Structure 1
Amino acid sequence: MNLASTIEEAMATRRSCRAFLPTPVPRAEVERLLALASSSASNSNSQPWQVHVLTGAAKRALTADLLCAHDEGRRSVGEFAYQPAADAWPEPFRTRRRRFGEGLYSETLGIAADDSAGRRGHHRRNYDFFGAPVGLVLTVSRAPLQGALVDAGLFLQGLMLSARGAGLHTCAQASFIDYHPVLRRHLTIPDDHLVVCGIALGYADDGHRLDDHRTTREPVASFTTFYDSVGPHRDAAVVSSGVASGSPV
C-alpha cells in the first residue's frame, strides 16, 4: 500500500484504477474520506452533492441489475446526459478520447479495434465497479443549475485525492449516467438530483496488467495564457516553433 504523503504526490499518483483487490475498506475510513471531501469549495457554500455508498449485498444487487440492463441494451440517458454522445465529441476532444481508447483497449488490454465483443466485455466491468469493494454513486441537485456540476467536480477531486492520501485508488465512472433508472430503483435519490458518476474505491491490484495503463496530459503551454500589464504574453520560442502556434501559452 503506497500512501501519498503530500498534495503534490497525491495529484501525481492519482489515476483511474480499473483493477482492484477485494480487500475491504472499513466504513470508518470511507466516512473519514467523505468528511475530508466535504470541505471542498461550493458556490455560496451550497454543498449540493449527495453520496450513496454500496458494499456487500447492496453492491452485488445493484451490480446484477446494472449488468442485466447493460446486456439487454437498456441505456436511458435522456435529460440526465451532461456529455456528448460517443460519436458527437468535437475536436480536439474527439482525438484525445480516441487516443485514450487506443491506449486502454489496444495497447494495454490487447483488444483490437474491430473486436467489439472484447471491448464491450471490458466496458461491462464498469458496472461491478471494476471489482472494488466499495462503490459510490455521486448525485447533485439541479436546483443551483449547471454550477452544481462544478461543485460536484470539486467534491469528487477532493475525494479522489483524499483516497490517495490513505493509500487507496479510485475510478470516476460517467458510464453510470446511462442507467440512472436502475440506480433510482436501488438508491434513495431525490427527484431533483441527477447522477454525476459512479466511483470505484479500494486498493489497487498492482499485479493486474491494467496497472500499467497511464494517460498523458496536455502541456501547460497548450491551455494557458499569461497576462501582464501590457496584455497577453506568449512564449515566442513556442509560437515560432509551430508547436503551439495560434494557441495560448
Structure 2
Amino acid sequence: MNSNTLSVTQALKQRTSIRAYQSKPVPEALVREVLDAARWSPSGGNLQPWKVIVVSGAAQQAVISKAKNYPGMFPNEDADKPVYPANLWEPYRSRRFKVGEDMYELLGVPRENKVGRLTQLARNFEFFGAPVGMFFVIDTRMGHGQWAHLGMFMQSLALAATERGLSTCFQEFWGTLRTTLKTHFALGENELIYSGMALGYADESAKVNTLRTERASVDEFTTFHFD
C-alpha cells in the first residue's frame, strides 16, 4: 500500500479508466489484498451476490485467444442484456459520444479512420495490455438490486486498487462474449458474466491515459428539498 494513503475522495477523483498498461506483473498477493478490501462492500440482506474470476499469464492469454478467434469482426453475445439501451437519449447520448471523440482525438485517430477506431476498440479484448484480468459473475435469478450491489463491489475494488497504486478499467465490453466465456469457465446454468476489468500499473507515457472525462455538476442531477 502507498505510504501516503489516499482519502476516499482523493481515490474517487484519481481513479479513471486506464487503457494502456505497463508489462510489470501484479503479484497474486496484491490482487488478493485488493479483493480482501472490496469484500466489505455493502449488499442488501448481506447477499454478497458476486463471484470473481481472476486471470493472468497463460489463463489470461487463453481468454484473449477466445476473442481473437471469434468468427466475425466483434462478438454479439449480449443481446439480452446490452451494455447501452437502444436509441440512447439526451443527455446520455451526447455524453457517450463526447468521451469517444475525446479519446480518439488524443490517439490521433480521426472519425474517417474506421480501421484505426476498430483496432483501438478491439484492445478491450487484450485488457489494454494489463497483466491481470477480472470477470464479475452474477446469478441471473437475482433482481435489479443485486446487480446494483455487484456494481458497488466493483467500485470498491477499483478504489482499493487505486489506493495501492494500481489502475483499472471497467470493461462491460466483455459482455459481448458472454456465451463463449460461460462455456470457457464452465459457469453454472444460471451464472452470467456481467463485466470484465483490467488491472495493472498504468503506462504514464501513453497519451490515452491523460483522458479525463467531464462530470455533471451537483445541481444538474440533484433536486434539494430542504426545510
TM-score by length of 2: 0.94
Write out per-residue CA displacement over residues 203-244 of structure 1, whole angstroms, 9 at most, x where no aligned residue: 000011112111110111100111123xxxxxxxxxxxxxxx
Once the two structures are superposed, the pairs formed by residues 100-119 of structure 1 within 5 Å of their partners are: 100-105=99-104, 107-119=105-117
Q: 1:52: Cα distance to partner?
A: 0.4
Q: Give the letter for the 2:88 counterpart.
A: W
RMSD over equivalenced CA pairs, Å: 1.7
**Is contact 1:70-1:124 (8 Å) kept?**
no
Q: Which residue of 2 aligns with 1:166?
A: 164
Question: Which of 157, 162, 182 matches 2:155?
Answer: 157
Q: Which residue of 2 aligns with 1:136?
A: 134
Greater Cα shift, 183-192 or 71-80: 71-80
CA distance in 2 between partners of 1:118 and 1:69 (Å): 19
Once the two structures are superposed, the pairs formed by residues 198-237 of structure 1 within 5 Å of their partners are: 198-229=196-227
Secondary structure in 2 matching 1:79: coil
Asked whether 1:179 is paired with 2:177, we answer yes
Number of aligned residue pairs: 226
Q: Which residue of 2 aligns with 1:32?
A: 33
Secondary structure in 1 matching 2:80: helix
Cα–Cα, structure 1 residues 130 and 70, in superposed 2: closer, same or farther, change >3 Å?
farther
Secondary structure in 1 matching 2:214: coil
| Aligned residues with identical type, % of pairs | 35
Q: 1:131: Cα distance to partner?
A: 0.3
CA distance in 1 between partners of 2:144 and 2:17 (Å): 25
Q: 1:70: Cα distance to partner?
A: 6.8
Secondary structure in 1 matching 2:96: helix
**Is contact 2:52-2:137 (8 Å) kept?**
yes
Cα–Cα, structure 1 residues 166 and 201, in superposed 2: closer, same or farther, change >3 Å?
same
Give the unaligned 5+ runs of structure 2: none
CA distance in 1 between partners of 2:23 and 2:71 (Å): 23
Q: Which residue of 2 aligns with 1:9?
A: 10
Cα–Cα, structure 1 residues 177 and 11, in superposed 2: closer, same or farther, change >3 Å?
same
CA distance in 2 between partners of 1:129 and 1:160 (Å): 15
**Is contact 2:44-2:149 (8 Å) kept?**
yes
Q: Give the letter for the 1:63 counterpart.
A: I
Q: 1:116: Cα distance to partner?
A: 1.2
Q: 1:45: Cα distance to partner?
A: 0.5
Write out per-residue CA displacement over residues 121-177 of structure 1, whole angstroms, 9 at most, x where no aligned residue: 000000010000000011112222111110111000000000001000000011111
**Is contact 2:182-2:192 (8 Å) kept?**
no
**Is contact 1:169-1:202 (8 Å) kept?**
yes
**Is contact 1:4-1:10 (8 Å) kept?**
no
Q: Bigger relative contact order, structure 1 or 2, given CA contacts below 8 A and separation 6+?
A: 2
CA distance in 2 between partners of 1:70 and 1:58 (Å): 21
Q: Which residue of 2 aligns with 1:127?
A: 125
Q: Which residue of 2 aligns with 1:61?
A: 62
Structure number, greater radius of gyration: 1
